Structure 1
Amino acid sequence: MDLFNSALGKNITFVRPVYFIISGFTGIANAEYYYIFLCFSYIVSVLGNAAVMAIITLDRNLRTPKYVAVFNLALTDLLSSSALVPKVLDIFLLNHYYIPYNDCLTFMFFCYSLLSMQALNLVVLAYDRLVAIIFPLHYHVKVTRRFMFSLIAFFWLFVITVTLIAVGLLTRLSYCKSVVVNSYFCDHGQIYKLACNDRTPNVVISYLLPLLILWLPLAFILTTYSCIGYALSKVATFQERIKAFKTCVAHLSLVVIYFFPILATFIMSAKIHPNARIINLSLTSVLPPMLNPIIYVLQTQEIKVSLKALLKIRQQSKWQQRR
């Protein structure tokens, strides 16, 4: 970081920089092995999420409200991986540390919007499980495709609006100290802290963003599963409890994968090295899109049945062509 700062000169003062310098992985030893992992995770994420989207599109039996939400989750994962990982590899693998000011803000907007939507997708799926287990007789009335499309559209509009406000507030800042961003992407928190004029609105939004897109969704999901757990405790037989719980396993796995690394990083942030914090936060961005489709294919009976049926049809088609 000192090397980057010295390259700028000691007496340079400006309001809006020409570029920012992303320095997140530059001080991490053997980072090239992590870049290989990022390439692998991106390939798996693209193939896996594209496969889930294709299965849901091709199988009419999966065109239900629940799988509208699953499709949106796969789409969000695919877009978030494509927005983040190729650019991160371009920055650090090809040494393109300098990112133009406007490009950096655009990069930030897409990353924050898509990563935020991942959390809200988990809220949608939690609501779906809540109604399916607690109000099974009213599920098809309360959770319709129209309702699911409306809820997802509202969440998309919400994250886009909130992210636009956060990014827009950055344009009022003056930068006269440094343009080195100690993160793996154009991080909102790291960028506004570089400014030398009043940052109060940015500080407020930096506390508001995690509340709206992390802690409130997590609180809703935990409350949802508390209600589900209480409802299952009232079910007459053990077998019925297990059957109902199995419908939640895939979603619970996604919740753990998404929220646990973030919680661990926030709780231990004062004790861990900055480089370890950067690695941990980057993993929270790349692991969920990679693992989500694997979890849904392996743990969701409907998708496994659909996948087997589609593969069987394809094999029969090839066999008929050979004849």
Structure 2
Amino acid sequence: MENKVVFASGGDSGRAGFCLADVKLRGQDFFLRRSPNQMMYWLGRCSLLAVCVQVTFGQTLLDLRTQSKSIDFSGANATKPFQAGAIFPATCSIGQMFFQTNAPAGRNLYGCTSTNAWTQESGGNAGMAGQLGDFLVTRTNSSLLAIGSNCSGTTPCNVRFGSLTYSLVTGATVSISGGTGVAFIYVSSSGALMVGHNLAASCSVGCTAQSGVTAFPSDAIPLFTWTATNGSWDTAGGADQRAVLSTQVLHPGAGMLIVQSSGQTTIAPDPTVVGLRVAPPAISTSPCAAGSWAADNSFYYVCISANTWKRAPVASW
């Protein structure tokens, strides 16, 4: 068997130097049957006969995707794995990432979720509720917002008003054609997906655009706000208004009481201010609280003090 070992180096203009060592192996006991001079001859042939080193200046470009294995950048002084800039690339393919340098901290990272569409991958300045998929609002492009893209029949987006639960099972979009201001995206008390605005905006099937709105209605469930400038949705204009934790503060009006017990809130008239109707007393000293009253076919009764009743006959006219 004949083994050839070639050493080569590359250079410009296609030039290459090479060195050849030709080794002929002639059996396991070949050297044992040679004289000292013959052994020296064959040992010399097995040595490297020539080494040609050609030093050239050039540039080698590597494709890390195909020419590397188990890349580890942990020891590198710096790495920049994403595209970066103030303006989004006009085109992108699914899986690309982009770091927007002029966005607020925590709201810089975007991913290409569909052809030529960038989606923010972080909810800047948002709490854990900002990570929910329900009723998520995203900017598709400068003229279009997507609302509830994750909502479907198998994964509905639900919202509750008292004992009623409303479900959104399909997403919607809102388009802008002009104006500068804010869009208020919310669910109304009737379960409708609404976009209140002071812009030139319109909704697709599944939501309703309401002009002249400059704040969330008091009986609505807020979802998002989104700012717009000169007829374009701002790239970083979304603010998550969804909330998992909330409270309701009640103040009693005149003649009313509010009592909270065991997680329940009871609203009732104040009996010290508003007289309550009770059953007609059997006798004038029947138990009662001052201000209580009663009536039957013959008399009108009033409790003037604790356990003291007065009555007056009733007549028709």
Tell me if both proteins adopt one fold, taking TM over 0.5 as the criterion: no
Larger proportion of strand: 2
Considering Cα pairs closer than 8 Å and 6+ residues apart, tell me whether 1 or 2 has the greater RCO. 1
What TM-score does the superposition give when structure 1 sets the normalisation length? 0.18
Larger proportion of helix: 1
What TM-score does the superposition give when structure 2 sets the normalisation length? 0.19
